[in-house]
Every structure is written in structure tokens, then in C-alpha cells.
Chain A
Amino acid sequence: MKAFIKKIERINFGLMSPENIRDMSVVTVEYPDTYGDDGFPIDKGLMDPRLGIIDPSLVCRTCGSKGGVCQGHFGSIELARPVIHVGFGDVIHKILRSTCNECGRALLTDDEIKEYTNKILELKAQNESIGGILKKIYELANKKECDECPHCGTIQDKIILDKPVSMVQIINPLCEFKKVFYDEMSADSISIGEIGPISREIVENKEEYFQNRLLVNSNLLELLCEHLHNVDEIIDILDSDDEIDASYELSNTQLNNIFKTIVDSNGLIEEYKLTASEVRERLEKITDEDSFVLGVNPEVARPEWLVLTVLPVPPVTVRPSIILDTGERSEDDLTHKLVDILRINQRLLENMEAGAPQLIVEDLWELLQYHVTTYFDNEASGVPPARHRSGRPLKTLTQRLKGKEGRFRSNLSGKRVNFSARTVISPDPNISINEVGVPEMIAKEVTVPVHVNEWNIDEMRTYIENGPDVHPGANYVINGDTKRRVTEETKEFILENLEPGYIIERHLKDGDMVLFNRQPSLHRMSMMAHEVRVLPYKTFRLNLCVCPPYNADFDGDEMNMHVFQTDESRAEAKSLMRVQEHILSPRFGGPIIGAIHDHISGAYLLTRDGVEFTEEQALQIIRKSHLKIPEFKSNQWILKYDPDFDEESFIYKDKGDKWTGKELFSLLLPNDLNLSYTAEISKCPEVYPPEDAEVIIKNGILEQGVIDESAYGSFSGKILDKIVKEYGPGRAKEFLDRSTDLAICGIMKTGITTSLNDEEIPEEAQDRINEHLDNKMAEVDKLVEAYEEGYLEALPGRSLAETLEMRIMQVLGEARDMSGQIAEHYLTMGKQSLDDTYDHVMAVENHSVVMARTGARASMLNLTQITACVGQQAVRGGRIERGYINRTLPHFKKGELGAKAKGFVHSSYKSGLDPIEFFFHAMGGREGLVDTAIRTAQSGYMQRRLVNALQDLQVKPSGLVTDNQGNVIQTMFGEDGVDPAKSDFGKAANLDKLIDEIRMEGK
């Protein structure tokens, strides 16, 4: 098909007139059937061939094009009676209540109409929204009690919308009757006895006196008149202390009160449901000028078109029927609905022609309205949804378009793609951070198109020879317009004809660029370009350092992979999306890709004080970590080799000397790296030896300190951060890959294990904790006593009860912290000093603590909760209050305020919780779960709105930020023009750090 390039200048929205619909229609559908007994579509039925065809072997009778090309053509149904369109229920209601019920003019004075017309024209000329002004207009024109039409003077009845499509007029005789009555009253005042005759006189000639036709047609006036004749009733209403009779002269207020009370107490108000025809008649009466102020532009829409008289029938391509395996035809939901509409329409027509009673016609009309309503929207409130025979609600027009699964969000904003794969992920520390392990099965399925040229033709030949089932093979060969699958049969033919210009869809092989993604894709690091490594088995393999940016773990997570199909996309991804380009996160200007878990504890075990290896072991480690083996010169190893310096500044190591872990780690570092910082383990109360907490790197040698989370952990790695920023992402990638290997070696030399013994503390410690907890409990009891005795002093701005609660929370917080500190004192990583004799039960090394202190996993809080005391359980940020009346559980006294009664858990996880503690713990735990569930939903929606608002912004080279209209958002990006990913943890520069570095280099 030839493409026409046209530019859309503007889009005009309007309503379709019945004439439009008829003009567009190629067939007037009359019969509620689809296919006849012969299997052919029925003429003038819902599957009439003129509505378009799907079968590619047929030619469309309307447009003459083949099936698949023919987009289909609309038909129409002539509705026996008009029907209100659900989508316009509230628009119709707003228009009706803003126009006169009798003359159809807008309830605005001529001046107002002129004024607002001009205002709307002005806004439209400035391309601004007219929503605000229309709201004002509708407010102004809205009928109020006893309002008169400024044009014909009729007193207006209120009109109410009975959702979704019924318009109800509230007929209230009061206002108009009062007006007429006062006009007819001869004197200024009137006696009770006179009311009756006057009103009789009015009511008997009501056609003359009243303008409201609905009121005239009802019998409300007669009923009112009857009541007004009843002198006793009127006297009752007056409820006077004096004796009154029919000659009593009434004041105006009394008269008003009489009318109102009679109308109200006798229910002389009628609700009249307007039929769609009546609604349409009223809308027809609205002049073009009036409809313009009411927001209906007469150039593209007339108010009466809001009520349907002709219903468009969408082409069959919109509602294709499916042929089931059994050979049965199954029709689309829309077709089902149209069948219903046609059926009722026909019955209604027949009944009307036969002159059936009004009641029956109205019932059928109502039913037609229901079917047309649900045809448009099957989830309209107040309408029971139309169901399939199986009980499933039908998916009609609105449901097709609306929401996340609707046409817009699911099919137009998001599409399914080819050349993608999805499977479970698993870890592989032996591949690089910018690689992804692709199962062979997938590599053989998704392909890369390669243009054959004279240089690669031999390589391509081998792929074709391998075919689709042997790994580096090919699946398809494309020559111009013909695409041929490579099979045993076609192989030979293809090989014979293969020449430059062909395109081979070859299997994925090592080194190909692919896009790798894990949902939810919350930031740009959720989609990165990786290099392929074809591996056995069926999972995607990824390096552990890229878990944080994807937020991935291996408890069953799945990820998606996309293969680039053009050289442009591949090149762009290679420069913008590769993993190493995203080591630094624009969120906080530090590394987000970095070491986690064993990677961190491994480095600690390798670099801590006293780790030594024999030369043989050291060389093994170097080899295993794929590091360059240091140069060996005149019986010495050159640890750091910098050709810029003379040989004296080299760092030598004699042959046969032992190697320390720090020396091994130094091999990873760039030669001229200078850095000092405080390690993560400095948060330990005592570090042995204390120098280990202060890291000093001089000329690429780790002189002092251990490697832990602060060195190269994700989110906080100082060395990693410096390497990316000063040596570039390539070097950083290499550093991470090699350090992964080295850390694995380190952890394998020492070994790491943990058991419940790691959370063991000596009895003496347990005693201290218990004693301490007892003291704190006593303190809480004292507070409670002070409160009950009334000598507790309230904190400023707090009530006494709040003060007590705060004080108790504080004491209990201290209780947990202190017991934690006691336990922490015994939970040490290992040796405390050279002559440590290990007099407590603690083993020589405690790997749980190693993991917590180095930042690899878990925290000291986790450990002390296991060993010492779990602490206060909280619901809604306070102690637990809910449960029974004035108490949490029936095990406590009513109003008890002690620690135990409100959810303090004395026990540790290891010693076990008693049933009451367990119950409170479950309460707190449940709140945590519910909160996370709610938070993800809320933040997801927040993010959606934020992204929608910001997605079209662009930063110009000058730093100017504009939206897609060219409006300036910022004259300089972020006001300082700094790329946060290249900043130093959000700051443009860190002077202290710079000074430190210069000082170190000078030394």
C-alpha cells in the first residue's frame, strides 16, 4: 500500500447528526440475525456483507477491496423511538435545567447571553479552555425555586437527573399558584373563607391562568383547591391561640404558610419522568445562539443530537465472530448487544403499529433504552450490567476503551513486541556486570538480522548450514520481499542463491547487544543494555552487582530481554544504555551498581588485619581472579608499576615473602589512586586493630583499613565512586568484575558460615539484660503510678494521658536499646585484642556479626532482637491499644497501662515469645505488610501522574528546559546545570575531598 504523508493541523470534536449517521451508513440493519441456515449472512442483518469483510479471499461489496484491506463500513439502525445516549446524561440534564421548560430559551437575560458569548469567543481565540466559564454559566442559568424564565415569564420546575439517563421534572404547584392567586386577589388582605372560591375560580380556568403545561395536565391544582376549601384544615394550620372562624383576615405570611403547609403535608408534588421524545423536543427548541452559550457549538453539534434517533452499527471488522474448534460460531459481545437492540426495536415498532396500549409501548421503550445504554456502557451506575448466558458481564464500547486494559493504555500506549524473551533469573558471579547469560533455547529463538556482504558471507554460510536447531545457526533468510525459513529442505537452495544483499536472521551469539529489563521499570536503570553470553540451562544469568538497579532477587523473579533489530538502535543503546554507563545513579550521584552480600563480607575477610597467604596461595588467587600477574624482576615482585615514575618509587616484594590480603586487593586499584575515608566497621564500638576502621589508599596501595560496604557497596561505595568519576565507567566495570572474583577467592579461603550459635551470649549477659529490663519495667510502673496518683506532670502541649504514653514509649525504647547494647558488647566479630583469650562462649569468629558490621547483610538491631529483646510492638505509630474494651486482651485488667499489657515483647526471638507477645508481634507484623501493599499502590499511581506530567520535557544543549510547546520551564537545568549522575552525591563539587586528595598526593 502506498503511503500518503499528511499533516494533521487540528482535530474538531462534535456530535454526529442523524443525517450524518444515515449518510455514512451503507445498510439499514433491520433483522436481529447474523447468519441464515445456509451459513451465509442475512441481507439487512447484522453481518450483512456490505458492512465489510474479513475473509481475504472475498471482495468487499461496498469498497471493492480485499478482506484484510477493507476497513469495514458503518451501517445504521432506525430506532423506533428516540433514546438518550448514556454518555450525555449529565450534559442533557445540565442543558435542560438551564433552559426554560416552556419556551426553550436559556435562563439568562439577553445581555448575559451576549456577554458570555463574547467571553467564550475571546477564550477560543486565545486557544484557552472554556471549561471554567461554562461552569460559571451553568451555575448562573441553573433553575432555582420559583425562578421565572426571563424570556416568557414561565415559572420553572426543577429538573433532576435520575442516573444515568432519566430526566425527572418535579412539578410543584406552589410557586405558580401563589403568583396567580395574588394577582387575582382583589383586596390587600383576605379572609379564610374567601380563599376557597378564588382558588376554585382560578383552577376552573387553569388553561388561561397557568403556563406550565405539565402542571395544567396534572390534577395537582384540583387537589390543592379542595384543601383550600377546607376551612377547618386552614384553621388547624394557623394553630392560633385565639378562636378564629372563616371571617378571620389573613396576613401575607400566614397565607404563604397555608399554601406551603398544604402542599408539603399532602404531598402535592409530582415527579414526572420526561420521555426521551420530550427531552428531544425541548432540546430542539433551543436556539443556536443559546446553545452556544451553553457550550454546544452549533457548527458541529446541536443539543438534540444528544438524543439518538438513529444508531450507528459498527462494521464487522470491529466485532469479528470467532469460529470455535467445534466449528461453532461465537459472536462478539457487541454483536450480541446489537441483536438485543434490534429485537426490542422491532417489537416496539410492531406494537406501535398495532396500536398497543401506552403501558406496553412504554415498557418496551424503557427496555430499548436499557439495551442502548448497556451497548454504550455496561458499567453505568444505576444500570444492572447486561450479562452473557454464562453470567459474565458483556464487554461493550466503553469497556473496550477504558482503563488499564482498555484500547488506549493497553494497545495504543503499550504494545506487544517480537524478538523478546522472558524467563526466571538466577545469579552468576562469573560473568561480567555488563553481560547477561542467555539460555541456548532462547538464543535459538530470538534473532539478529545481519546484512550479507562479501566479508561475512562465509560466516553466514556456516549459520545457514547449522540451521535453526543447532546453536550458532539461522532461522530465516530474507531476500527483498521474500522471507524463507531455513530448514533441512530449503538449506541447499538458500546456500546456492546466497549473495551480498540478503538478510540473515541469525541466532543470538556471545557479544550481541540486548536490552534487559525488570518490571516495575521505575527508573532508567530498570532497562540496560547487556552483552549476551549464551549459556546452558533455562534461566537468564546476571551478575550480582546489577541486582540493586533492577531491584532483583532470585526468589522466582523473571526478567525480559529484547534484541535490537537495527544498527542504529544498537549503536544508540551501546553509547547510552550499557550497564557501566549507569553505575552512577542520577538519584543521588553515587554508585547504584556495586557490591552486595558475600561480595562485601568476602572483601572484609580478605583485607582485615592478619590475613596472610603464602606466595603460592597468593598467585593462585591472582590467577583465579583474572588479575594481571605482577611483573617479576631481579627476584622481586613489582606490586605497583608506574612507568611515569622512576624505579625507586615502585613497590617491591621479595620472592618468598608472605602476601597480605591488603596487598592482593591493591592489585585491583589504579596506580595513582589516592583516597582516605572511614570504613563501615567504624560504627563498631571497638575495632581491632583500630587502624582498620580508617582506610588509606596511597598511590594505589591499600595501606591501612579494611574493604567493606563503604568501599564498593552499592549506594555507598567510596572507592567505586572515585574510580567511575575519575577513571571512567570502563575501568569501574573492570574493577567490579575483578573485585567480585577476588572477594569470592577471599571468602573461599576463609569460609563463611552462620548458625544460631552466632546469636549466643553468656549467661552473665542474659542476667544483666534481665536485670536491666526489670529496672525499666519498674520505671514504667512508677510512671503509671504517678499518672494514677495524679502527680505526673504534663509536657507542654500534651494531655496527661499523652504525656504518660510518650514517657512510657521513651522508657521502653531505652529498654530495648540498652539490652541491645549489652548484647552487642558480647557480639563481636572475633578477636578483640592480640591476647584475647575468648573467655566467653562466643566462638573465635562470629560471621553474623561480620555480615552486620561490614554492611553485607542484616543489622545489629536484627541480631540483638534475636539475642536480647524484641522490644515494643507498634500499631499506628503507638503502643497497641485495640482489641477489647479498655484492654488489648482479656488477660489484663481493664485500663491497665503497663508495658506487657500494651505490646512490649521482653523475650528475644531466640528464647521465644510467649503467646501474648506472639499475638502483639503478629499485630505489628500485619500492619507492616498492609502498609507495604498500600504504599506500592499509592506510589505507583503517584509516579504515573508525575511521569505523565514530565514526559515531554527536554533539556536543550544550553541547559534550557522546555516542554513540547516551547514553554520555558527552567532557564538552566536544575538551576545549576549539573547532571546529578555526574555530581558528587548531589553536590557539584566536594571541596574538602579535593583538598584531602591534593594533600595526599603532595606527601
Chain B
Amino acid sequence: MKSEFDIQKHKLVPKHEIMTEEEISNEFSDVDYDFKNLPKIKVTDPVAESIGAKPGDILRITRESQTAGEFITYRIVEV
């Protein structure tokens, strides 16, 4: 039985989204790094599992930041 508990709703879990091809090409048009150098997240990570991420996907994480108010970071899903 799948757990009824949605960890995405927990207040300590920041918002994770799988990025579409289009979003990727938009948001990464002018960055000076390679996707494979992004921080990693396991497919088996509870959040990654809950949103159904697949290896190779890039997740956009929107979280609260002490310094910047709100901060967007990215993680690449890996096995």
C-alpha cells in the first residue's frame, strides 16, 4: 500500500519540480557549467520518488533562503 503521507506537503520539504525540455533550454541558456556537474539527487530519494523523477531529469528546487528570501537551485537525478 502506498503511503498516504505526501512528503511534498511537509513544511520542511521545499518544492521540487521536474523541468521540461523547454524550461531547461530557457533557464540554462546562459550558465557557465555543465548539467552533469549539478548537485545530485538519488532516484530513490523520497522526494524524487514522490514526484516520479527518472534518472537524467533535472529538478528545480524552490526553497526559502535566509539570505535571499527565496532561492531556486537545481539537482540532477541519478541512479
Contact = CB atoms under 8 A, between A and B. Distances in A.
B65 A976 contact: yes
Nearest to B68: A976
B71 A972 contact: yes
A520 interface: no
Interface in B6-41: 31-34, 37-39
B65 A968 contact: no
B68 A968 contact: no
Interface stretch (A793-801, A834-842, A958-966): A958-966
A968 B74 CA distance: 10
A969 B39 CA distance: 7
Given A968-B33, A971-B74, A978 B39 contact: no
B33 A976 contact: no
A960 B31 contact: yes
Contacts of A975: 65-68, 71
A967 B37 contact: yes
Contacts of B66: 975
A262 B68 CA distance: 75
Contacts of B33: 960, 962, 966, 968
A993 interface: no
A974 interface: yes
Nearest to A969: B39
B72 to A, nearest CB: 8
A719 B3 CA distance: 59
Contacts of A163: none
Nearest to A956: B32
A975 B71 CA distance: 6
A958 B29 CA distance: 14
Given A956-B32, A958-B32, A968 B37 contact: yes
Nearest to B65: A975
A962 B67 contact: no
B32 A968 contact: no
Interface string B42-79: 00000000000000000000000111100111100000
Given A967-B37, A968-B39, A974 B32 contact: no
Contacts of B38: 968
A974 B39 CA distance: 16
A986 to B, nearest CB: 8
Contacts of A956: 32
A976 B32 contact: no
B37 A966 contact: yes
A113 to B, nearest CB: 24
A976 B67 contact: yes
A967 B34 CA distance: 9
A972 B74 CA distance: 11
A960 B73 contact: no
B16 to A, nearest CB: 16
A990 to B, nearest CB: 14
A978 B66 CA distance: 12
**Which of B31, B65, B67, B73 is the most central at the interface, judged by chain A CB atoms within 10 Å of its CB?**
B67
Given A960-B32, A966-B34, A972 B68 contact: yes
B63 to A, nearest CB: 9
Contacts of B65: 975-976
Contacts of A968: 33, 37-39
Contacts of B72: 971
Nearest to A965: B37
Contacts of A965: 37
A911 B67 CA distance: 51
B37 A978 contact: no
B65 to A, nearest CB: 4
A123 to B, nearest CB: 13
A972 B72 CA distance: 9
A47 to B, nearest CB: 54
Nearest to B33: A968
A971 B65 CA distance: 13
Contacts of B37: 962, 965-968
B25 to A, nearest CB: 17
A957 to B, nearest CB: 9
A965 B33 CA distance: 11
A969 B38 CA distance: 8
Contact of A974 (B31, B67, B74): B67
A975 B64 CA distance: 10
B44 to A, nearest CB: 16
B62 to A, nearest CB: 12
A970 B71 CA distance: 11
A259 to B, nearest CB: 48
Interface in A951-999: 956, 958, 960, 962, 965-972, 974-976, 978, 988
Contacts of A966: 33-34, 37
Contacts of B39: 967-969
Contacts of A967: 37, 39
B71 to A, nearest CB: 4
A676 to B, nearest CB: 27
A128 B24 CA distance: 28
A971 B73 contact: yes
A136 B41 CA distance: 24
B67 A978 contact: yes
Contacts of B31: 958, 960, 971
Nearest to B39: A968
A980 to B, nearest CB: 9
A971 B63 CA distance: 13
A954 to B, nearest CB: 12
B61 to A, nearest CB: 11
A966 B31 CA distance: 13
B55 to A, nearest CB: 14
Contacts of A974: 67-68
Contacts of A976: 65, 67-68, 71
B11 to A, nearest CB: 19
A970 B68 CA distance: 13
Contacts of B32: 956, 958, 960
A901 to B, nearest CB: 47
Interface in A95-119: none
A970 B38 CA distance: 9
Contacts of B34: 966
A568 B38 CA distance: 36
Nearest to A966: B37
Interface in A344-376: none
B6 to A, nearest CB: 27
A962 B38 CA distance: 10
Interface string A776-806: 0000000000000000000000000000000
A92 to B, nearest CB: 36
**Which of A956, A960, A965, A967 is the most central at the interface, judged by chain B CB atoms within 10 Å of its CB?**
A967
**Which of A956, A968, A970, A972 is the most central at the interface, judged by chain B CB atoms within 10 Å of its CB?**
A968
A972 B31 CA distance: 11
Nearest to B67: A976
Contacts of A978: 67
Nearest to B34: A966
A564 B67 CA distance: 38
B2 to A, nearest CB: 30
Contacts of A970: 73
Contacts of A971: 31, 72-74
Which 9 A-B pairs give the minimum distances between C-beta atoms? A976-B68, A976-B67, A975-B68, A975-B71, A975-B65, A966-B37, A967-B37, A975-B67, A968-B37
29 contacts: A958-B31, A958-B32, A960-B33, A962-B33, A962-B37, A965-B37, A966-B34, A966-B37, A967-B39, A968-B33, A968-B37, A968-B39, A970-B73, A971-B31, A971-B72, A972-B68, A972-B71, A974-B67, A974-B68, A975-B65, A975-B66, A975-B67, A975-B68, A976-B65, A976-B67, A976-B68, A976-B71, A978-B67, A988-B67
Given A958-B32, A965-B37, A972-B71, 8 more contacts: A958-B31, A960-B31, A968-B33, A975-B65, A975-B71, A976-B65, A976-B67, A976-B71
